[in-house]
Amino acid sequence: MSAETDQAAEATAPTLGLIDIDKIDMDAILGFLTVYGVKFITAILIFIVGRWIIGRLVNLVKKGMGRSHIDPTLIGFLGNILSVIGLAFVVIAALSQLGINTASLAAVIAAAGLAIGLALQGSLSNFAAGFLIILFKFFKTGDYIEAGGTSGTVQEINIFTTKLKTPDNCEVIVPNGSITRDYIKNYSAHDTRRMDLLIGVAYDADLPQTRQLLTDVLLADERVLKDPAPVVEVAELADNSVNFYVRPWVPTPDFWAARFDIMRNIKIELDKAGIGIPFPQRDVHLFIEEGQKLPIETKPAKTAKKK
- Domain extent listing, the chain: 26-119, 138-186, 192-273
pLDDT score for 116: 59
**Residue 229 to residue 89: CA distance in whole angstroms:** 63
Least confident of 48-52, 152-156, 233-237, 277-281: 277-281
Third-level CATH fold of 138-186: SH3 type barrels. (2.30.30)
Greater pLDDT, 295 or 201: 201
Third-level CATH fold of 26-119: Helix Hairpins (1.10.287)
pLDDT tens digits, one per residue of 199-248: 999 999 999 999 999 999 999 999 999 999 999 999 999 988 999 999 99
Amino acid sitting at position 222: E
Bridge-based pairing state of the strands 150-157 and 171-175: unpaired
pLDDT score for 255: 95
pTM of the model: 0.59
> Options 3.60.15.10, 3.40.190.80, 3.30.70.100, 3.40.50.1100; which CATH number does 192-273 get?
3.30.70.100
pLDDT tens digits, one per residue of 194-213: 999 999 999 999 999 999 99
Greater pLDDT, 304 or 49: 49
pLDDT at 80 over 60: yes
SS3 236: strand
**Residue 51 to residue 59: CA distance in whole angstroms:** 12
Q: What DSSP letter does each residue of 195-228 carry, written as one string?
A: --EEEEE-TTS-HHHHHHHHHHHHHTSTTS-SSS
